[in-house]
């Protein structure tokens, strides 16, 4: 059995000694007050072993990491029909870019930019009886953890400052790519992004992407083909306009969020989650990106 703890300890020491820990997201007021000294790493192997260090059990707002989970739920409900409304190409632009959406007639480049995630949210709102409650229960189910919840203060903070998100949603609506009212879709979207989880819980949530579509409870949520496609999207689109850099430096499918979390995985092997609220210029966790690059370099474990 491999013991990852000494490697995590080395990476943690190296990262915490850095003077520049990035800049905490300030455009969502509730995120601006998070202490950027927080840093945690958690690793879970597919065969059930866990390794962790630092603030891995401290909850934080997962933000755009939630887009992978909403896409998973939508895929399990409607399958490839999603592809009629959202493309699967890297955007090469910031996550809240509007120009491309207009040029491409209201079809978002991929499900992980904000506009794409709004279309996924619209699909869920149309098909779930109690959308927010049902989505939260889905996240609780795949993690086998009923303590996970929305942070209502973060959701409200996003609602009152999300002007570009309102613009994107109205643009989608103008092209006929939202079935529901803009306010209803955005209420779901803001709550989805406000979910609070720990590194440990996120490693559990992403277990199914390393385990052929089966979650920790051994329930099948996705086919192997669907898992392959979502992992491919994480590799090519999971880090916005820094996706190529992450693939080049780290070599794992993954997803980041402006709350400072990053989840990455090696299919059939492990899931690793980092959290450090300070972001780099591309909106990805500065220490998290470094930690994951060091991890795959030291272990030689990546998809390449």
Q: What DSSP character marks residue 285?
A: B
Say which of 258, 276, 285, 286 is annotated catalytic.
258
Own/partner contacts of 73-77, CB < 8 Å, gap of 24 or more, are 73/124, 73/135, 73/138, 74/120, 74/123, 74/124, 75/222, 75/226, 75/230, 76/221, 76/222, 76/226, 77/123, 77/124, 77/127
Side by side, the strands of the sheet bearing 270-275 are: 50-54, 40-45, 270-275, 261-266, 254-256
Q: How far apart are CA 70 and CA 243, in angstroms?
A: 20
Spatial distance between the Cα atoms of 174 and 148, rounded to a whole number of angstroms: 35
24 is catalytic: no
Kindly name the residue from 51, 56, 64, 185 that is annotated as catalytic. 64
Q: Which of 67, 173, 204, 255 is catalytic?
A: 67
Is 64 an annotated catalytic residue?
yes
**Catalytic option among 240, 250, 263, 286:** 240
Q: Are 285 and 277 in contact (CB under 8 A)?
A: yes
Residue from 189, 227, 255, 286 carrying the catalytic annotation: 189
Asked about 189 being catalytic, the answer comes back as yes
Annotation says 76 is catalytic = no
255 sits in the region (left: phi over 0; alpha: psi -120 to 50; else beta) called beta
| 19 tagged catalytic | no
* Residues taking part in catalysis: 64, 67, 189, 240, 258
């Amino acid at each position: 059995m491999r013991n990852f703890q000494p490697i995590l300890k080395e990476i943690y020491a190296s990262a915490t000694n850095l003077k520049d820990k990035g800049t905490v997201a300030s455009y969502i007021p509730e995120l601006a007050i998070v202490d950027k000294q927080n840093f945690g790493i958690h690793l879970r192997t597919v065969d059930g072993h866990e390794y962790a260090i630092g603030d891995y059990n401290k909850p934080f707002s997962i933000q755009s990491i939630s887009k992978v989970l909403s896409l998973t739920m939508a895929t399990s409900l409607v399958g490839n029909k999603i592809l009629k409304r959202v493309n699967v190409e890297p955007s090469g632009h910031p996550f809240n870019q509007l120009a491309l959406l207009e040029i491409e007639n209201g079809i978002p480049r991929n499900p992980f930019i904000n506009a794409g995630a709004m279309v996924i949210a619209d699909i869920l709102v149309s098909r779930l009886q109690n959308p927010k409650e049902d989505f939260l229960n889905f996240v609780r189910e795949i993690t086998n953890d009923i303590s996970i919840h929305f942070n209502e203060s973060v959701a409200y903070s996003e609602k009152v400052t999300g002007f570009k998100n309102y613009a994107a949603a109205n643009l989608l609506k103008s092209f006929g790519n939202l079935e529901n009212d803009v306010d209803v879709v955005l209420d779901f979207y803001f709550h989805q992004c406000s979910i609070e989880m720990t590194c440990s819980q996120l490693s559990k949530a992403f277990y199914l992407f390393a385990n052929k579509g089966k979650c920790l409870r051994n329930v099948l949520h996705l086919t192997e083909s669907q898992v392959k496609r979502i992992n491919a999207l994480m590799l090519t689109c999971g880090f916005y306009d820094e996706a190529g850099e992450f693939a080049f430096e780290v070599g794992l499918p993954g997803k980041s969020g402006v709350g400072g979390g990053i989840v990455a995985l090696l299919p059939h092997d492990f899931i690793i989650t980092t959290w450090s609220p300070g972001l780099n210029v591309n909106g990805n966790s500065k220490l998290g990106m470094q930690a994951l690059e060091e991890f795959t370099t030291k272990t030689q474990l990546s998809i390449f």
